Amino acid sequence: MTCERDDGGSKNLIKFCPLTVHVLKRSKMPKPGFKTITVKEHIFSKYYEVYKKAKKERRLKDNTSFSGFVTGMMQETMAKYEVFARQAPFLEKIAIEQERVIIKDNKRDRIAEVMVRNGELQCLLDDKTDCIHIGFVYSLPEIYMVLKKKGGRAIAKTKKMQT
Ligand SMILES: [Zn+2]
């Protein structure tokens, strides 16, 4: 189906071509109950290649659209992500040593080292004595016991934090 171009040239093409208007509208407005996202072209192309290949190799149902294929992938990724998020908490205790605690910060994907310095806990990652890693170390029961035995400022601080 083609549209005849009017005498006014391409500028007026949309105005005089109901089909073009329809296509343009469809490409911008998703169906009710659907949302549109924009992705980088190379990402789109990659997904589209995989889709075509899967279609060719008949690994997809005949009526699977590209949109349906991507939606399926998104759902699968989300399911995996949710499992991972449950299994890997934000902060994890890696090791407790004599004067230091190693923590894995999953949010920042970094290892934080918390040391006892001058009777106070200090985070080497943040160079702070009051960051989230310090709070996490204080919350570890085994650390609380050590600090309690040692006494000093650290334990005073713990009490302050708890109130
Ligand atoms: Zn820290």
Domain boundaries, the chain: 1-36, 41-86, 91-162
- Å from CA of 117 to ligand 1 middle: 14
Nearest Cα to Cα of residue 6 among 19, 18, 21, 15: 15
Q: Say how many C-beta atoms besides its own lie within 10 A of residue 12's C-beta.
A: 12
Tell me which residue has tokens 């007026």.
12
* Stated pTM of the model: 0.41
Residue 17, classed as helix, strand or coil, is coil
- Å from CA of 57 to ligand 1 middle: 50
- Å from CA of 155 to ligand 1 middle: 18
- Å from CA of 112 to ligand 1 middle: 6
Residues whose Cβ atom is located within 5 A of ion ligand 1: 112, 123, 125-126, 131, 133
**Could you read off the pLDDT tens digit of each residue along the chain, which spans 163 residues?**
444 444 444 444 444 445 554 444 555 678 899 999 999 999 999 999 999 999 999 888 889 999 999 999 999 888 877 776 666 678 999 998 888 899 999 889 999 999 988 878 899 999 999 999 998 888 887 776 666 666 554 444 444 444 3
